Structure 1
Amino acid sequence: METEGIRLNKFLSEAGVCSRREADRFIEAGKVCINGQAATPGQRVIPGQSVTVNGRTIQSGNGDNSHKDKQVLLAVHKPKGIVCTTSDKDRAPNIVDMVDYPVRIYPIGRLDKDSEGLILMTNQGSLVNKMMRSGNAHEKEYLVKVNRPITDEFIRKMKKGVFLPELNVTTKPCVVKKAGEKAFRIILTQGLNRQIRRMCGQLGFEVRMLKRLRIMNVELGELKPGAYRELSKKEYHQMKEALNGSTNHSYKEQKKEISDGR
């Protein structure tokens, strides 16, 4: 930690407590203290200070950073009904409590409550920031089941891009393949809010099941709902290499790329 300290939200993110945005919300809600005093937005943490979140010590007075020693990156199968936010406002079970990992971790991006499948969880704030700010489009693959038979016209329009009037945007061209009478697979390189559901709805189809099968090089595979596994060394290094080749646009420009909230 620099002698002049680092911003509190960055400290909490790098400690694996939460994302920077969630840290700002915790600070504004009065849930974060430095040396026993309620912290303020933009405040900096000086070496040796004690930081607590909801009464839990994040750093002891002697500057011990043992909580950061173990770097964690998990592949998790989020079941339907679990939310990816850690906000106290949502009464539904959240993914952090579900995994109950011994080291504080949080999800990279989101899957909405009604969706299931692969989500990555980590305590590496720098990795989250890299993925969230990536200027490159990283693939995410889904299996989707809808309420009626899929037509060639539906596949063609989904591939080409669908105008979403509520967002005033046309989705980027993507890969779509039929996977059954009422099912298809889709590979996206963007992540607008509830994008797949909105695209289907605009074409007169209703999503009955949505499962994320892959994020970049990491696949859901046979992982059971509610279960998790650590990424293999090969998966981790492949992901790092892909991210190292990415450009870094501003978070405001790129935040939807990973936080898809479908």
Structure 2
Amino acid sequence: MSEGEGIRLAKRVAAMLPCSRREAELYIEGGWVQVDGQTVDVPAARVRPEQAVQLQPGARLEEIPPVTLLWHKPAGVANALDQIDIGKQQGEDRFLSKHLQQQRLLTPLETEASGLVVYSQDYRVIRKLSEDASRIEHEFIIDLAEAVSEASLAALNSDPKFKASRQSEQRLRVVLKQTEVGQLGAACAAAGLKVRAQRRIRIGRLPMASLNPGAWRYLTAPEKF
């Protein structure tokens, strides 16, 4: 459909119900409007006169609350919202297009690293992960190219920001606060260790748990960092 063909869905819904244009936008953004049997949640979408537009039963007229996205970033993928595959959502919450607007990346990783990454629209989460960054732990699993010597382990732990322990001969568990991109790799290199892979498995009290590589889900109300 060309840009000039049809009318805006919000205008069509407002005339159909009838209701105000803003109320129509809220119904649409909330995922309560179908066009030819398919949910359309973009108020600016254009519809032709012959297309069937329907308000779903149980529709609620309410603002969409801000959400936080938890993503298991795969290794080799950039920290970019457009890299998240929406089709890999885990959990039962409904996805709405508005959930991708004005998202802020709060916990970036190196491109080569994998693990838990947080995006949020919620000012409470943004404030927590920004203002309390010096108190929030980040837990990583580091796979190495060689066995960890006592000297290398001691060199890592000489930095008070690091708590490193062996998981196996070639694997470390490292906990640190107020992380910076590249910080962990640089510290391992300075200790004479060659990193093969690093994965963040926890931020604060929130573990990555069963979130599959490349998948994402919403932060639920009971969960806290």
SS at match of 1:235: coil
TM superposition outliers: structure 1 runs of 4+ over 4 Å: none
Q: Deviations over 1:134-171 (max 9, x none)?
A: 2642100000011111012221221121xxxxxxxxxx
Equivalence for 1:108: 106
Out of 73, 76, 80, which is 1:81 matched to? 76
2:84 is aligned with 1:98: yes
Q: CA deviation at 1:194?
A: 0.7
Judge which range, 186-195 or 95-104, deviates more.
Answer: 95-104
Q: 1:127 aligns with which of 125, 128, 142?
A: 125
After TM superposition, the score normalised by the length of structure 2 is 0.61
Residue 65 of structure 2 aligns with which residue? 70
Q: Is the 8 A contact 1:79 1:115 kept in 2?
A: yes
2:184 and 2:83 map into 1 onto residues whose CA distance is 27
In structure 1, C-alpha distance between the alignment counterparts of 2:62 and 2:113, rounded to whole Å: 32
Identify the residue that residue 190 of structure 2 maps to in structure 1: 202
Q: 1:211 to 1:129 in 2, by over 3 A?
A: same
Aligned length: 156
RMSD value, Cα: 2.6
Q: Is the 8 A contact 1:143 1:212 kept in 2?
A: yes
- Give 3-state SS (helix, strand or coil) of 2:84's partner: helix
Please list every run of 5 or more consecutive structure 1 residues that lacks an aligned counterpart in the other structure: 1-55, 59-65, 85-93, 162-171, 240-262
Displacement, 1:73? Answer: 1.6
Mapped partners of 1:114, 1:208: distance in 2? 9
Q: Provide the residue aligned with 1:213 in structure 2.
A: 201
Does the CA contact (< 8 Å) of 2:152 and 2:192 recur in 1? no
* Contact 2:133-2:178 within 8 A present in 1 as well: no
What is the CA-CA distance between 1:68 and the residue it aligns to? Answer: 6.2
Kept in 2, the 8 Å contact 1:110–1:119? The answer is yes
Shift of 1:132: 1.6
State the match for 1:174 in structure 2.
162
Q: Deviations over 1:180-238 (max 9, x none)?
A: 111100000131331110011112211110000000011111211111122233313xx
| Structure 1 residues 158 and 68: CA distance shift in structure 2, 3 A | farther
The percentage of counterpart residues that share the same residue type is 20
In our comparison, the structure showing a higher alpha carbon Rg is 2
